[in-house]
Structures are given as structure tokens and as C-alpha cells.
Amino acid sequence: MPVEPLSQKEIEERLAELPGWSLDAGRLTRSYRLGSHFEATAMVVHIAQVQEELDHHSDLTLGYNTVSLSVHTHSAGGAVTEKDVELARRVEDLAAGHGAH
């Protein structure tokens, strides 16, 4: 089923409930800081599991003690959709358990 692009207003409404997330170059983005490189790596693996479950994938970057995500929906022509919002919510849910901030 095709997913529709969200309007600018809809994106702003979703972002109001996702502290730390922003719209950057047309993508939902957030960076997290972790306690160590190993902890950051574990969070990347956890995010990858969620992305496979959702069949929706961000550009996911592992730094020394940082994890950064950038996501839009390829099948919607690169627009932001509810699928991106759902992934952001799921990542927020798991971030606390990794001590990410």
C-alpha cells in the first residue's frame, strides 16, 4: 500500500511529540550520544532489528560514541511519511534503555 507524504503542518505536529528530532534537508533526523563506542554499536544493532521488523530503513551512522539517523521514504519519492514517524517513535522507545541522550 502506498504511503502518502505528510504535509509540513503534519510533520511539525509529529515533531512536537518527538523531542530531539528535526526536519533537516527533507528528512527526519536525530543524533544520540552514548556512554561508549560499544554501547553505541549495541544501539545500532537494536535499531537495525527494528528497521527490519518495520521494513523501513534509515541512513544510520555510528560514530565513536554517537548514533545518528536520517530517514525519509524512498517509495514516496523521498517525502516524509508516517513510516518515518513510526520509526522515529520506535527508536525513541529503545533509546532510553541504551542510556542514549
Ligand X SMILES: C[C@H](O)[C@H](O)[C@H]1CNC2=NC(N)=NC(=O)C2=N1
Closest contact distance (angstroms) between CB of 78 and ligand X is 9
- Site membership for ligand X, residue 73 (CB under 6 A): yes
Alpha helices in 17-81 (DSSP H): 37-54
Binder of ligand X out of 74, 89, 93, 101 (CB under 6 A): 74
Q: What is the rounded (10 degree) CA torsion for 13, 29, 25, 74? A: -90
Report the C-alpha gap between 57 and 91 in whole angstroms: 12
Report the C-alpha gap between 18 and 15 in whole angstroms: 5
- Site membership for ligand X, residue 53 (CB under 6 A): no
Which conformational region is residue 84 in: left (phi greater than 0), alpha (psi within -120 to 50 degrees), or beta? alpha
Closest contact distance (angstroms) between CB of 53 and ligand X is 11
Binder of ligand X out of 14, 27, 56, 98 (CB under 6 A): 56
- Site membership for ligand X, residue 55 (CB under 6 A): yes
* Binding segment (CB under 6 A) for ligand X, from list 11-19, 30-38, 54-62, 90-98: 54-62
